[in-house]
Structures are given as structure tokens and as C-alpha cells.
Structure 1
Amino acid sequence: MFLQYYVTESATGNRIDIEIDAATKTELDITRNGWQTVWDTDFILDSQKEIYAAKTETGEIVALGAYRVQQGSVAVYIAYMESQPESNPTLTQCKKYQGIGKAMIAFGIQLSIDANCNGVVIFEAKTDELEQHYLRDFGARPVASLHPGGPRTFMIADQAAKDIFSSYLFEE
């Protein structure tokens, strides 16, 4: 068994394999051109976070994610994730790729497993629509807010985490 992340091309329904690796400064710099968020802010580049880029085999950046992985913690915190402008529903009506959020959450679950956090991830929903999506499609559960008065905080654990993670496991 091996792990293979992928997204789906909206126009064709084809599966597009992606690799998720540590982001480079050059990859973060592209966010200055059309991305919803510029990824070189102090919040994102905080030394406690690890920044990753999800890319197609041709090097196209599909998403970026910021994760806080602390040994001895009970969960990995997904501080921020964002789809490329062509797939970001706040920036376009017709998304180029589907399934980006699920892949980035699955990667957070992998980081959690690797850090002995049992696949548990926590994150915040930026919008009401995302809240409903996380609850309905990912089995997320609301937990105490990390920032009172801020966005709602969710956790994915147990069977929900296993279901998401196992959807990327394939036989060699």
C-alpha cells in the first residue's frame, strides 16, 4: 500500500496526481499574483508552522497549506490552506480542480499520524459554507474555539480521519 494524493479536473473528471512537499520561497512568492492570500506574512511564516505546496506532475501549484506539528500534542493544527486562484471558489465560478481541501486535510492527517497524534487534526472554517462542507462531507466535529469570537473550530478524528486518509491509499 502507498499513499497518493490527487485532485479531480473539473472539466474532464480526470484524476490528477499531486505531490505535497515543503514550499519554497519562490512558490510562496507567486501568491502575490492573484491569490486570495499573500503567503509571506508573519502569521503564515511563523516558525511554529510548516508550509507545504501541493503540485501536479507538471509543477502547477494547486494549493498551499500551513500546519503546526508539535511533538507531544494531541492534534496537528491546520493553520491555513488555500486553493490556487483558478480553483478557489471565492475567486472563480468554475473551479479548475475539485477535492483540493480534502487532499490538504488528508495530508494534515498524515502529519498527525507521523507525529503520534493518531490522525487528529483541528482547523477553523473561514466561512459558513465551509463549516457546512466540513460537517457534511468530512465528518468534522465542532470543538472549543481557539480564538473566542473568531471562526468556528473543528476537529477530524477517529473514523472520519480514517475514511479521509484511506481514500488516498492504493495498492502498488
Structure 2
Amino acid sequence: MSEDRLLRALRATVREMFPRYDFLGKYRYRVLAMAGDRVDLQAVRKGAGLPDILPVPIASGMAGLSAELTPGAIVLVEFIEGDPQLPVITAFSRDGGSTFLPVSLVLDATDAVRIGEQADAVELGAATAVVVRDGDLVNIAGVQPGPGVVAVRLSLAPPPAQMLSKVRA
């Protein structure tokens, strides 16, 4: 038996024993569009024998996190338990290109979303001002007539009971 025939026979045997073998890895797919919380995808390597799959959910690995992905972004898809009927996006390719960042990102929780106490600052991007936290010292320039700065320490704690008033509407 020639080596090529032996190799083909071995491959056929492995495929027969493990029919879902092709669906046990992570595969690159390109984002075509979003449809609600599902992503329309296209296989990056057609020669890999993988299907173009539509639509696919995102399993980001973190509860409460969801994203609207940028068309053209590359994501990594796994097939749960090797089942081609159960594709899921499990990772995002860090190519450094313009499609890596999502269109929008949501982080939500039923109680609170907290930033660690050791964080020196909370930044919300170039389009917004600095986030003020409970107990932060805030400098306000130009509030008084003449030069100077007003410093205010914010407290988000409830006011004392004697400062509360009732209003009848």
C-alpha cells in the first residue's frame, strides 16, 4: 500500500470515528452584521471546510457584558461540544485595526457596577468630563467674581434627617 493511500485510509478512519473533529477548535470568522444580540458571520478561511454560519450568539465570558460588533471585525468561534449546530463567539481578535473596537458596549448588573477603590481615576473617553466619585475634591474655576478656585468635597451620602423636608404636591 502506498504512503498516500495509507494516509487517506487513516484520515477516513479518524473522520469516521470522530465525525465532529472539525468542530473542536477555535475558528476565525468575519462579522457581517448584527441582528439584535446575534451576529451574522462569514468564515475567514473557506478552505477549512467550515460553514458560513448565521446568526451566532456572543459568549463574552463575563456576565452582564454585551456589545454591538463592528462589521469587518474578526471573532473567534467555537462549536459547543463539537456540535456544528451550536456555534458561539467566545473571543475577539486583537488585530489593532479599526474594526477591533465595538460600535457600542454595555456592562450591566442587577445591583451595582463598581470600580475598584484603588483606581486613581475613572475616565469615560475624550468626549466626556472626568467622573466625580463620592468624597472626591472638585475644583471649580471661575465661579466667583474675580480670580480663584472654589474647592468642594462631594458626598453622595444621604443628608442628615434634620436637613430633609416634606413637600406636599
TM-score over 0.5 for the pair: no
Structure with larger RCO (C-alpha < 8 A, sep 6+): 1
Which structure: larger Rg?
2
The TM-score with structure 1 as length reference comes to: 0.23
Q: Under a length normalisation based on structure 2, what TM-score does the superposition of the two structures give?
A: 0.23
Larger helix proportion of the pair: 1
